[in-house]
Amino acid sequence: MKVKVFDESHEKDLEEVINKFISEDEPEIIDIKFSTAIAVSEEQIYCFSALIVYR
């Protein structure tokens, strides 16, 4: 079993990198964990991440 972590600042970018990984590597996906985070300082910063467990 292996894991792959993706981290992007926009949800559409996260979709793109995950779809590219799936189409190119064709892994047997066991699970996907999705998370969002936000930081507020002078501007709002978003973080969209996913951890994929696969074989």
* pLDDT tens profile 8-55: 999 999 999 999 999 999 999 999 999 999 999 888 899 999 999 999
Token code pair at residue 44: 């709002």
Burial readout 20-32 (b: 16 or more C-beta within 10 A, e: otherwise): ebeeeeeeeeeee
Identify the sign of the CA torsion 30, 51, 6, 13: positive
Residue count of the chain: 55
Contact 27, 55 (CB under 8 A): yes
Model pTM score: 0.85
